Amino acid sequence: MNIMQRVRVRGGIVVAIIVLIVTAALTWQLSKARCIQLVGDVTCRVETEAKLVALTFDDGPTPEGVDAVLAELGPRGIHATFFLIGNRMEKFPGQAERLIAAGHELGNHTYSHQRNLGRSQEFYAAEIAKTDALLQRAGSDTKLFRPPFGKRLVGLPLEVERAGYRTIMWDVEDQPEKFTAPRAFAQDILARVRPGSIILIHPMYRHNQVARDALPLILDGLQAQGYEVVTITELLRRTGRR
């Protein structure tokens, strides 16, 4: 092989490496895109002029998380959507039923809350189906799904669609890594809310105390701004998305 041939080969290898890196980066970005999905329907917010927002909570259920959230939502007459993890439902029986009894709706957040990338279709199907069975046993019939960490490409959305679920993302998420004081935590969320927003808060685990302390401030702030807080199903129904 002469010098020019070696140069061409090396150049081709460099180009191939660059293409692979760029493809991997784009794939990673696509996997966590809130409002873009290659398969099936995804909702991260709805377009509306009405001052409606949906309030959602992820993970759990845990007794301390359910206690704290119900204590704030109940007196205000607010209903929300809880995306629950199957193995947490098994560990803490009765908590999902408490949420339903209080008028809230439940969603599927997979069974084990692992990152759902690069897995088999059988894995995705089992993660959805096992939690679906637990949700039905608790008395839920709402077909709403939220991927762990918001990550999904093609395989997971395919199984979500096959199971008759709808993927629900968000456009306003809590940022506990940035705001460790309840008031700043709440103000950050309130500053980003707009009509049709889907708000995501993580109040379920022991280390989520700031989120629990911020919740009444968030609820009072939404009311002061004239927002009505509803479930995902109600938001979709009221805005003609059902």
Q: Which of 79, 104, 109, 202 is catalytic?
A: 202
58 is catalytic: yes
Question: Do 220 and 203 touch, CB atoms closer than 8 A?
Answer: no
CA distance 73 to 80: 8
Question: Do 158 and 125 touch, CB atoms closer than 8 A?
Answer: no
CA distances in angstroms from 101 to 94, 130, 131, listed in the order given: 10, 22, 19
79 is catalytic: no
What count of Cα atoms within 13 Å lies in the side-chain half-sphere of residue 138?
32
Q: Which of 41, 58, 79, 141 is catalytic?
A: 58
Q: Please identify every residue annotated as catalytic.
A: 58, 202
